[in-house]
Amino acid sequence: MRPELFALALATTPALAGPAFTPVPVPEHVYAGGWEHFVGGGLAVFDCDGDGLPELLAAGGENAATLLRNRSDAGALRFEADTPETLTEPGMIGAYPLDIDSDGYMDLAVLRVGPNRLLRGGADCSFAPFEGLGFTSGDRWTTAFSATWEAGQSLPTLAFGNYVDRSNPNGPFGTCDINLLYRPEGDRYGPPIELKPGYCPLSMLFSDWARQGRTDLRISNDRHYYVSDGEEQMWAMGSTPRLLGPADGWISHKLWGMGIAQRDLDRDGNQEVFLSSMGDQRLQRMTGNGAEFADVPYAMGTTAHRPYTGGDGRPSTGWHIGIGDVQNDGLDDIFITKGNVEQMPDAAMDDPNNLLIQQPDGTFAEAGARAGIASLHRGRGGALVDLNGDGRLDIAVVNRRAPLEVWQNVTPETGHWLALALEQPGPNRNAIGAWIELEADHGHDHGHEGTEEAGWMREITVGGGHAGGMAGFEHFGLAEAGEIGIRVIWPDGAKSETVYVGPNQSLTLIRTAKGLKARR
């Protein structure tokens, strides 16, 4: 989209009602534990019973995890605890949903203090250990995860980020563990590849950052434990993984990294990356070939470096990042869970979650207090997701030593929206690595040019956030756009034809031999 057209679209975006959320009672769940559970507390969001509504799996740390089955309707959110025994083993840091065996049921990569698990999903939210995959974990303290499908493989490539080496007697400072990459060998996993040095990661994400046809792994690391010699990392996923450096254009970044999220926030065709941290939150724009990122100006309003309520002026601690359009005005917003690690004296204790609303000029303004989500608990994992299918993004947060919280989005007079999921035959059923492209087209004849507006693009990924992620529908806020043209670039590079649909519906886009089919 040409810059002048994007500027015009921003200037003409209607002013919608400010965001409003209301708390929802849910069965009590608390993430707790000693120092090995100061970090973690992830939230996995996925539909495991096939009713079109996502469940919430909250890690418990020393407590058991809780699976909240979604019993919501279009009017209200409602959940009931129904946790299968295979998910109740203590020690869960977090979990990420993905369909590993492409059988149509969401599986789980479970991160633990102890051996990690790959669990095979089945009917009615049942789970069992995978048999025959050859996956071995060892006793780790795993705090980060991402997955992608590499060309020609029937199984995904899995990356596990390991925090402090608990077996090192000189720890914890300066004793970061190595990270592990599992690549398929046919229908099994071979021995893991060591990604070292490791600098105590708290989030990692596979993405084709510059849309150059190569998915690379970005890792955000906790400077609190690597002390002085580490930095953020980017691994190029060639036949032998290679750590990018200055010769590749990689700019060294050092921060107390917690979470990663990526999105084309300004709709210029390039992805921004957002990094949560202790202190400044970092929004970065790509300036080069997928390895070069630079911080955006402070004036953008995204640093969220101190609490905006609660009376504590010390630096904030950011964890999970969710990006989405909470007003459906066509502009993506940013949600960040916040909370002190435990009792760190240099960081704020009263540290509310952030809701940064994108303004028509592309800057961001804090709306957490007026939106009603300014909890002062120690937030950890979270989700910004439509929980009842009404087209408005709701919020859920796992808290350390405090109950899980859920807020329903009750913003009045929101704009139009679409929720889209992908499906293709064979391996990689949910098309991880695909791109969805949307363009508003108000022309009545598709053979003639209509009124052009800035489009949207979205990469399908697994990973990022803090110790948890989502699988399912991708939500797009559309403002006043009517008919929408949709095109999919599949993971193998094939491009679908453009299909045209109306707004305000949830659709699964299915790859066919002839092109693209939409299913409600």
Q: Return the domain boundaries, the chain.
A: 21-409, 416-519
**pLDDT at res. 108:** 98
Model confidence over 91-123: pLDDT tens digits?
999 999 999 999 999 999 999 999 999 999 999
Bridge partners for 348 per DSSP: none
Cα–chain center distance at 37: 21
* Whole-angstrom distance, CA of residue 457 vs CA of residue 434: 10
Pairing outcome for strands 233-236 and 405-409: unpaired
Yes or no: say if 171 and 162 are a contact pair by the CB < 8 Å rule.
no
Of residues 289 and 326, which shows the higher confidence score?
326
Yes or no: say if 177 and 198 are a contact pair by the CB < 8 Å rule.
yes
**CATH architecture assigned to 21-409:** 7 Propeller (2.130)
Q: Is 450's pLDDT higher than 90?
A: no
The average pLDDT across 501-512 equals 96
Cα–chain center distance at 19: 21
Helices (H), 12-57: none
Q: What pTM value is reported for the model?
A: 0.94
The average pLDDT across 153-167 equals 96
**The dihedral formed by the CA atoms of 208, 211, 212 and 218, expressed in degrees to the nearest 10:** -30
Q: Is 171's pLDDT higher than 90?
A: no
**pLDDT at res. 15:** 52
* Whole-angstrom distance, CA of residue 453 vs CA of residue 259: 32
* Whole-angstrom distance, CA of residue 499 vs CA of residue 400: 45
Angle, CA 308 vertex, CA 303 and CA 311 arms, to 5°: 135
**pLDDT at res. 16:** 57
The average pLDDT across 64-81 equals 95
**pLDDT at res. 101:** 97
Model confidence over 35-59: pLDDT tens digits?
999 999 999 999 999 999 999 999 9
- What is the CATH T-level fold of the domain 416-519, as seen in this structure? Immunoglobulin-like (2.60.40)
Closest CA to 266 of 52, 3, 54: 3
- Average pLDDT in the chain: 92
Closest CA to 341 of 230, 253, 258, 283: 258
* Whole-angstrom distance, CA of residue 113 vs CA of residue 453: 48
* Whole-angstrom distance, CA of residue 463 vs CA of residue 445: 40
The average pLDDT across 348-377 equals 97
Model confidence over 458-480: pLDDT tens digits?
999 999 999 999 999 999 999 99
Residue 447: which pLDDT band, with cuts at 50, 70 and 90?
A: very low
User: What kind and span of H or E run contains 283?
Assistant: strand 282-286
Sheet containing 66-70: order of strands: 43-46, 55-58, 66-70, 79-81
The average pLDDT across 309-334 equals 96
Q: Is 63's pLDDT higher than 70?
A: yes
**pLDDT at res. 260:** 97
E strand intervals along 78-210: 79-81, 92-98, 107-114, 117-122, 126-129, 140-148, 157-162, 179-182, 184-185, 188-189, 193-195, 201-207
Q: Is 445's pLDDT higher than 90?
A: no
Q: Is 6's pLDDT higher than 80?
A: no
DSSP designation for 85: G
Under 8 Å CB-to-CB from 96, ≥6 apart: which residues?
42, 44, 108, 109, 111, 145, 146, 147, 462, 463, 468, 469
**pLDDT at res. 452:** 44
**pLDDT at res. 14:** 46
Model confidence over 10-31: pLDDT tens digits?
433 445 568 999 999 999 999 9
* Whole-angstrom distance, CA of residue 460 vs CA of residue 456: 13
Secondary structure of residue 299 in the 3-state scheme: helix
**pLDDT at res. 346:** 92
**pLDDT at res. 341:** 93
Share of the chain above pLDDT 70, in %: 94
